Amino acid sequence: MRNRYAFVGGNSGRWRIASLRPVRGEVLPHVRCVDVVPVDAMQSGRPAGWVLTGQISNVRYAKRAELTVLGAKQEALGRPRASRAALIPIKKSPEWWDLAQDERREIFEEQSRHTAIGLEYLPGVARQLYHCRDLGEPFDFLTWFEYAPEHADAFEHLVDRLRSTKEWAFVEREVDIRLELAV
Amino acid sequence: MRNRYAFVGGNSGRWRIASLRPVRGEVLPHVRCVDVVPVDAMQSGRPAGWVLTGQISNVRYAKRAELTVLGAKQEALGRPRASRAALIPIKKSPEWWDLAQDERREIFEEQSRHTAIGLEYLPGVARQLYHCRDLGEPFDFLTWFEYAPEHADAFEHLVDRLRSTKEWAFVEREVDIRLELAV
């Protein structure tokens, strides 16, 4: 399945878990490591504490002008110096999903400045969004970030700012998993 | 999987195929009937010529004012007099999916008047959209319509108008399947 990835929490993997904590709602079971694997390449029967699956998809809110600015400033995943990562699965409320497109956009950007805030932390923090609501998964999104240790404070700041927005009032489940490259 | 449905083309089913024809790109194999089944209730091993799967999801383009007008005028699927149906699977081009949200909305509604045109045919033609691009399916959408025989001409008119829009320039595969209740 093109662009579909599994986040496998278990005893081994490329990323070692530094912390795993609930932000809102039920937390995930504690495991030692996380691996990110294309679903097509996943071994069946691999032992795992949990598996979260997400799909890279088209943008839902960003306007062309925003995509142009983001494209000029953001960097890809997998940079050698980016030895820190965060996996933050998020589920929004039924009230969010019942909103019309213009209402969600208004809250997401005009009120919460989601894209604009993220832009301030580029290129230090690289990001990738995985969609999973329509896959019948327990979360709606898997948000993934990679950064070098010297950007760890900036990343905390980014996360704090987003969590204080109006958009986050619609988040009903969130788990915060911090990772370090297992070397 | 909540809100996920399979459209099963085979030798038996609730809907008898009156016609099945390509509009653009590769057609589907000819079968006699189509059944619409919640995926959770599907029998494994049921013989089928083809199975298309789609997910009812949140709206992607409609604004609140449009949803309000639609909600006041549209009727649900399954009306006793709606003995005709159409299943029109559609796949859009990579160029469409690479557009920003505001560019897609502009083409979809401001230029093509997709919602406004559909509104003119309510409540005669009942509609349901199923998303499948992120499910790894051969189409991006399964569009489904139900109407009584006296609205068949109006439905042809609706389909012709939508196919002449700018939005349809981004459709790279489309199959038109017309159905009648198997009585």
**How confident is the model over A43-60, as a mean pLDDT?**
92
Q: For residue B2, what pLDDT is reported?
A: 86
In this prediction, what percent of chain A has a pLDDT beyond 70? 100
How far apart (Å, rounded) are the C-alpha atoms in residues A144 and A127? 6
Six token digits for residue A11 = 């005893």
Residue that has been written with the tokens 């070692």 in this structure: A16
Judged by CB atoms closer than 8 Å, whether chains meet at B66 and A4 is answered as no
Using DSSP, state whether B99 is helix, strand or coil. coil
Judged by CB atoms closer than 8 Å, whether chains meet at B102 and A135 is answered as no
In chain A, which residues have their Cβ closer than 8 Å to the Cβ of B131?
134
Is the per-residue pLDDT at A41 higher than 80?
Answer: yes
Determine the Cα angle at B142 with ends B139 and B145, to 5°.
155
Six token digits for residue A112 = 């919460």
Judged by CB atoms closer than 8 Å, whether chains meet at B66 and A100 is answered as yes
Q: What is the ipTM of this complex?
A: 0.95
Is the per-residue pLDDT at B82 higher than 80?
Answer: yes
Q: For residue A1, what pLDDT is reported?
A: 82
How far apart (Å, rounded) are the C-alpha atoms in residues A90 and A114? 15
How many Cβ pairs within 8 Å bridge chains A and B?
59
Q: Kindly report the pTM of this predicted structure.
A: 0.95
What would the pLDDT profile of B91-135 be if each residue is shown by its tens digit?
Answer: 999 999 999 999 999 999 999 999 999 999 999 999 999 999 999
Q: How far is B18 from chain A (nearest CA, A)?
A: 32
Using DSSP, state whether B123 is helix, strand or coil. coil
Judged by CB atoms closer than 8 Å, whether chains meet at A103 and B62 is answered as no
